């Protein structure tokens, strides 16, 4: 091999290695949006709430395990609310996944240092207090997470989750409208994909009519249900 050929070969190898490394970094610093093919994970944000325990019963009666991205201080305060505490334990004891949505629903891109750490650690501590484990999954409030924020969360041992499908249950509280959002998302995607659905257990209509409609539609499309941890294939807890 000539000197020029050797130089070209080494340069190409270096460029290729850099590209692979860059690709890995982007992947590591991106939020996870989709489930594994053929599966759907229903997720609920902002609880636990007064409707959560009844929602758990509904899910259980249909053989569905969901993922709850919880706050410590949002609609209810986990420190003080027995209802919230019991709902958290009900969900965990029924085999649903408990994940972090931060302590008080702060935009993680807008805080740093001790404030950032407190949002993560305080939620970990209270989950540990009531279920004996610390979550390994987090959904940043508002779905807001820059690459820097995602890396910080990855470094703290978290899988960072967004969603593929938004029910927009915070807008209409109308089941037909919300299911149309879901159908639209599924139609635009390859149905061989998997989906992570965003909903909120702080709305009564979501925890009753919408959840029933979601289960019926998803089963009708031939998908199986799973938790987000099962989507990703990594442990739910640290």
Note whether 176 and 187 are within 8 A (CB). Answer: no
Instruction: Give the dihedral sign, CA 175/181/182/187.
Output: positive
Residue 232 exposure: Cα atoms within 13 Å on the Cβ side? 22
Catalytic residue among 45, 73, 90, 201: 45
DSSP result, 21-52: HHHHHHHHTS-B--PSTTEEEEEEES---TTH
Residue 124 structure tokens: 């970990």
Active-site annotation holds for 73:
no
Residue 200 falls in the annotated catalytic set: yes
* Count, residues in the chain: 238
- Out of 169, 181, 200, 201, the active site residue is 200
Tokens describing residue 131: 């279920």
Phi-psi region of 164 (alpha: psi -120 to 50; beta: other; left: phi over 0): alpha
Catalytic positions, written as ranges: 45, 200
């Amino acid at each position: 091999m000539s000197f020029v050929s050797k130089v070209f070969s080494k340069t190409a190898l270096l460029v290729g290695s850099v590209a692979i490394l860059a690709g890995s970094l982007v992947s590591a610093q991106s939020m996870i949006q989709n489930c594994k093919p053929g599966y759907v994970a229903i997720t609920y944000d902002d609880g636990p709430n007064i409707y959560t325990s009844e929602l758990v019963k509904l899910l259980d009666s249909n053989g569905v395990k969901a993922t709850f991205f919880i706050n410590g201080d949002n609609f209810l305060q986990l420190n003080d609310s027995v209802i919230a505490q019991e709902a958290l334990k009900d969900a965990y004891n029924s085999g649903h996944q408990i994940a972090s949505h931060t302590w008080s629903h702060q935009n993680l891109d807008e805080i740093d240092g001790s404030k950032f750490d407190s949002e993560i650690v305080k939620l970990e501590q209270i989950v540990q207090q009531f279920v004996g484990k610390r979550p390994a999954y987090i959904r940043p409030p508002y779905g807001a997470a820059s690459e820097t924020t995602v890396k910080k969360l990855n470094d703290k041992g978290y899988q960072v989750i967004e969603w593929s499908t938004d029910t927009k249950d915070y807008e209409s509280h109308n089941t037909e409208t919300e299911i149309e959002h879901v159908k639209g998302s599924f139609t635009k995607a390859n149905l061989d994909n998997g989906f992570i659905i965003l909903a909120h257990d702080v709305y009564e209509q979501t925890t009753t009519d919408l959840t029933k409609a979601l289960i019926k539609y998803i089963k009708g499309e031939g998908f199986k249900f799973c938790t987000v941890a099962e989507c990703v294939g990594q442990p739910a807890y640290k």
